[in-house]
Structure 1
Amino acid sequence: MTVTLADQILPLVRTRTDLHRWRAANDYGSQLHEAVTLLQDAAENQPPAEVLTVTQKAIASACKVIMRADDSSGIIGDAIRQLLELHAQLVRTAPPPDRKLVDWMIRFQFDNECDFFTIDPVAYAPALGERGMTTYRMKLDEIAAGLSPKLSDEHRHNLWSTDRDAWHQVLEQDHTRFVLEWNARRLAVWDRDVDAIIATHSRDRKVAAWLQDTAKALAEIGEFDLAIDWARQATYFDLGHQAAKASVYWCALLAEHRPDEELPARLEVFRRWPTSSNASALNKRGGSSWPTYAEEVTATLERRPREAVSFALYGLDDLTLAWNLAHSLTLDDSMLWQELAKRYEKVEPLAVLPIYTQLVLADLENAGAGSYRSAARRLARMRTLASGSPQAAEVDELIADLRETHRRRPRLQLEFDKAGLP
């Protein structure tokens, strides 16, 4: 009996298992990724039309499954996104009839219980061709024409209180508008229409992320000067996290398309957001001119101990400087102290004992096997580092004191015993 591609793939995708449990959902997600890999391999050496048919069925089944699964890990969602990418690739390789493809795209976006995913009409445009794209736009226009006028926030609130069914219909129309707006943005990119890109992506220009979206879309069609300008606008929008994210994109565009302007931009970004990562980027780009900026960067970061120590440790790879700064600036970050001590113990083992002591005490502020296990491992490490030195007795005395202080915590005593502590 011949085993078809569908026979191989679909049993991995379809399941009646209860996936509300996180572990079960993750197991299914791993199985779904196996199916994706098999389909990707099949796309290389089997008839693309057959692979497309199976992929489309796999997408439909996986979308039904995710609706009843705890995909908080994102494993199932990632696999479905890969299936959608493969679907777009396959239709470009072996285009189905354009009307059939349009119908599938419309159904997936507007008649699908699972509304977690988007598809990109730009990726499908080559397969649709001019006639298919015209049909697709007409379908979108028909859907848009069927929408009711958008309600005010007050009216929506009243519906929630008085007519719950009508309120749910409003939510459905909100999602339809979201999908239509997504399509308008992507079709503007396909049309290479600068004005439409700006209008659809920047919207009312009240959010930094929308300005960055505009920059990315302009870069996608090769309008790099405009993209740089919009990325700069996003960077200087405010001092929020979206603007900070946009600054990274702005500098990346400059590095690729206007390298002479990158260094001044890196300096401006550091001055707006004086972080270790921005200092590291400035240091890397500065090269031989770094000493020109070093004093300003150092003085600025000293007002933020965590950033100063992180920059010394990760940006400059200067362990001694990081160690000294952590003490002189009174670093108050247990995770960074932990990493710093782990590295510095190779330089001066006994010097890290006070740090490990504080970390042990911090561990024991929380009851629980994990905290006890962490404290026990640190204490065992301290004994190894102090072995043969005068501090060895002090470490053992600390362990004895902790055993006495926490004598009513049997799990702590057990974890200490497992670690071989006295």
Structure 2
Amino acid sequence: MLTIDDIAAWDATTASRGRAYARSGRVTILRTRRGVTDADVQGSDLYRVRVQPELDDYACDCPVGATGALCKHVAAVLVVLEQETTFPDDDAATGADEVTRWLDALDPAATRALLHLARDEFPQVADLLAREYVSSSADVGRLTAEINAVLTPRRTFYEYGAANRYADEADGIVGTIEELAERSRTPELLKAVERALTLVVRATLRSDDSAGGHGMLIERLLTVHETVANGGGVAATAKDRRRLATWLFRFRFDGTQDFFDPDVDRYAAALGAEGVAEYRALVGTEAAHGRHEYAVQHARERLAVLDRDADEIVRAFGRDLPGQYAALRVSQGLDEAGFADEALAHARRGLALDPGPHHGRLVDRVVAGAVAAGDPGEAVNLRAAHLRRMPSAITFEALRAQARDAGTWDGLREASEQVLAEHDPAGLLSVLLGDGRDDEAWELAVADADAARYRWPELCERRARTHPEQTLPYYRTMVTDTLRTTGAHSYAIASRLLVAMRSAAGAAGRSDEFVAFMTEVVEANRRRPTCIDRFVSDGLIARDRSVRRG
């Protein structure tokens, strides 16, 4: 069950802001019915929230909530729900769901009449019924009508919120298309999917899709398109296969969009020899005119994979470019075409080149080859060489996992940690904290403050369990440094640090020291009302600015 304490464990800031919203009366519970609560929350705008705590389900139409993330508005509603016991239309308050019992008792004629009424009065009910009809009947004609009705863009431009609403409204019909494609793959359904793609792309081109909802719809529709096209009998004739090839080409090359590149090799079964030849000729014509260089390059790479032509894969993916990126791309292309040995050889050659940002992925490929060949020793040696070449907590963890699998970690641990100590102390600190070696982590942090620059809150929290008095000077420094910057975010961080410092001071028997420091902080920030309000709301001081000892 989702609670405000769960949110606090994941994101203390969001939980704190939600509590503040609840305290300030920004939440209006509209109704709670069958475990689902609808509420309005007044933020920078009025946002609608729906939560179902029993199922850990939540939604909010604010910019953060539109991405699927937990937001302060959801947190605020959960706070209010936990504080109150009854709400408008709360079924639980009566101990029964009379409406459900009434519905169960209706005869078919009355149920149909009620559904007709709901369909006529509520557009969302009409959409739901239409989707259910299409799903049960496989009526592609009606599906196409629903696609046109729901997905056709109606605005010149969809700003952020409107773009998210479009994606939310489109989700249902795309889900219906996906469901239908699992049961029935026909030429008519393929054309319906293509119509849906055309409309969603058109909407995306006139939208602020920074949340990514439109892009996800297109990716889903392209996956369905591939599934339906490869269904037996969908592209049954040479004409059908050439039509499919032309559609794939135009989707990327007609100048409408340049975000999505269908992979022609995934359509090999559907295209057949005629379709592949048609697509290849179209790409060749585009290349001859010098247009769409990137798209032509991508198409040639995918054709090389489709043809399973190792030499062409090397040419297309490598493009005679030096460096590890080209080696990685060639290796990936060969792997996709089923040339595992050749892919491994190219990855090995790539490791011998000057190291760059893609070195680690080449190491991963060669390590996978060593493991597949039954040579765990080589895999460990590769990871150890990577750590020495690029010391970091990431390469250390990769070596440790590999060596543990091989049973050789005990003999490598000390030397590996020494590599981090010499070249990446911050990485070693992360390892020590991750392993729960808190005393060693504290000693390293005290000896090398730069290594612990961003880890002091965690270090102090752990050290306070055993030596709380040692953390007090560091808390003072962190609070002072944080409050050099104004703003609600800084005040929230400082307040959390002060709460932790108060606990540590109490555990160390030095509460007077905390009170004296807190008094200094309040005085220094007396002209920052937002800061003072934050201290009050977090229980650090009273309204008269006297310090609370906890």
Task: Normalising by structure 2, report the TM-score.
Answer: 0.66
Work out which of the residue numbers 255, 264, 268 in structure 1 matches 2:381: 264
Give the unaligned 5+ runs of structure 1.
148-172
Work out which of the residue numbers 261, 276, 295 in structure 1 matches 2:393: 276
Quote the residue 1:130 is aligned against: 273
Return the alpha-carbon distance in structure 2 between the equivalents of residues 344 and 229 of structure 1.
49
Larger RCO (CA within 8 A; separation ≥ 6): 1
Alpha-carbon distance, 1:48 to partner: 4.5
Partner of 1:241, secondary structure, is coil
Contact in 1 for aligned 2:147/2:173 (Cα 8 Å): yes
User: What is the aligned-residue RMSD (CA, Å)?
Assistant: 2.6
- Of residues 137-146 and 262-271 in structure 1, the stretch that sits farther from structure 2 once superposed is 137-146
Alpha-carbon distance, 1:278 to partner: 0.8
Quote the residue 1:162 is aligned against: none
Quote the residue 2:339 is aligned against: 223
Return closer, same or farther for 1:69/1:326 CA change in 2, 3 Å cut-off: same
User: Larger % of helix: which?
Assistant: 1
Return the alpha-carbon distance in structure 2 between the equivalents of residues 184 and 73 of structure 1.
31
Quote the residue 1:156 is aligned against: none
**Residue identity in the other structure for 2:229:** V
Return closer, same or farther for 1:327/1:24 CA change in 2, 3 Å cut-off: farther
**Residue identity in the other structure for 1:275:** S
Return closer, same or farther for 1:87/1:391 CA change in 2, 3 Å cut-off: farther
Return closer, same or farther for 1:334/1:123 CA change in 2, 3 Å cut-off: same
Return the alpha-carbon distance in structure 2 between the equivalents of residues 361 and 332 of structure 1.
20
Return closer, same or farther for 1:309/1:98 CA change in 2, 3 Å cut-off: same
Is 1:61 matched with 2:178?
no
Return the alpha-carbon distance in structure 1 between the equivalents of residues 417 and 315 of structure 2.
42
Contact in 1 for aligned 2:400/2:409 (Cα 8 Å): yes
Q: Give the aligned length.
A: 394
Return closer, same or farther for 1:375/1:114 CA change in 2, 3 Å cut-off: same
Alpha-carbon distance, 1:33 to partner: 4.3
Return closer, same or farther for 1:46/1:340 CA change in 2, 3 Å cut-off: farther
Return closer, same or farther for 1:254/1:340 CA change in 2, 3 Å cut-off: farther
Return the alpha-carbon distance in structure 2 between the equivalents of residues 19 and 338 of structure 1.
45
Return the alpha-carbon distance in structure 2 between the equivalents of residues 393 and 383 of structure 1.
10
Is 1:367 matched with 2:486?
yes
Return the alpha-carbon distance in structure 2 between the equivalents of residues 263 and 201 of structure 1.
29
Return closer, same or farther for 1:290/1:243 CA change in 2, 3 Å cut-off: same
Return the alpha-carbon distance in structure 2 between the equivalents of residues 110 and 51 of structure 1.
23
Alpha-carbon distance, 1:406 to partner: 1.6
Work out which of the residue numbers 21, 46, 52 in structure 1 matches 2:159: 21
Partner of 1:72, secondary structure, is coil
Work out which of the residue numbers 299, 318, 321 in structure 2 matches 1:183: 299
Q: Among the aligned pairs, what percent are the same residue?
A: 28
Return the alpha-carbon distance in structure 2 between the equivalents of residues 354 and 21 of structure 1.
49
User: Larger % of strand: which?
Assistant: 2
Return closer, same or farther for 1:366/1:12 CA change in 2, 3 Å cut-off: farther
Alpha-carbon distance, 1:128 to partner: 0.5
Return the alpha-carbon distance in structure 1 between the equivalents of residues 446 and 397 of structure 2.
21
Residue by residue, what CA displacement relative to the aligned partner does 1:45-64 show, whole Å, maximum 9, x if unpaired?
34544543332122111111
Quote the residue 2:431 is aligned against: 311
Return closer, same or farther for 1:356/1:9 CA change in 2, 3 Å cut-off: farther
Residue by residue, what CA displacement relative to the aligned partner does 1:210-250 show, whole Å, maximum 9, x if unpaired?
21011111122232222122223333432321223433333
Quote the residue 2:246 is aligned against: 103
Give the unaligned 5+ runs of structure 2.
1-115, 117-128, 131-141, 542-550
Return the alpha-carbon distance in structure 1 between the equivalents of residues 482 and 508 of structure 2.
25
Contact in 2 for aligned 1:302/1:329 (Cα 8 Å): no
Return the alpha-carbon distance in structure 1 between the equivalents of residues 155 and 469 of structure 2.
55
Return closer, same or farther for 1:391/1:27 CA change in 2, 3 Å cut-off: farther
Return the alpha-carbon distance in structure 1 between the equivalents of residues 359 and 444 of structure 2.
29
Quote the residue 1:380 is aligned against: 499
The residue correspondences of 1:236-251 to structure 2 (distance < 5 A) are 236-251=352-367
Return closer, same or farther for 1:301/1:51 CA change in 2, 3 Å cut-off: same
Alpha-carbon distance, 1:379 to partner: 1.4
Return the alpha-carbon distance in structure 1 between the equivalents of residues 473 and 364 of structure 2.
38
Alpha-carbon distance, 1:252 to partner: 3.5
Contact in 2 for aligned 1:52/1:91 (Cα 8 Å): yes
Work out which of the residue numbers 111, 114, 117 in structure 1 matches 2:257: 114
Contact in 1 for aligned 2:246/2:278 (Cα 8 Å): no
Return the alpha-carbon distance in structure 2 between the equivalents of residues 69 and 420 of structure 1.
45
- Of residues 1-10 and 67-76 in structure 1, the stretch that sits farther from structure 2 once superposed is 1-10
Return the alpha-carbon distance in structure 2 between the equivalents of residues 341 and 51 of structure 1.
61
Return the alpha-carbon distance in structure 1 between the equivalents of residues 532 and 441 of structure 2.
35
Contact in 2 for aligned 1:228/1:254 (Cα 8 Å): no
The residue correspondences of 1:337-348 to structure 2 (distance < 5 A) are 337-346=456-465, 348=467
Contact in 2 for aligned 1:184/1:200 (Cα 8 Å): yes
Quote the residue 1:42 is aligned against: 180
Is 1:292 matched with 2:411?
yes
Return the alpha-carbon distance in structure 2 between the equivalents of residues 368 and 25 of structure 1.
31
Return closer, same or farther for 1:14/1:323 CA change in 2, 3 Å cut-off: farther
- Of residues 222-231 and 176-185 in structure 1, the stretch that sits farther from structure 2 once superposed is 222-231
Return closer, same or farther for 1:257/1:220 CA change in 2, 3 Å cut-off: farther
Contact in 1 for aligned 2:167/2:217 (Cα 8 Å): yes
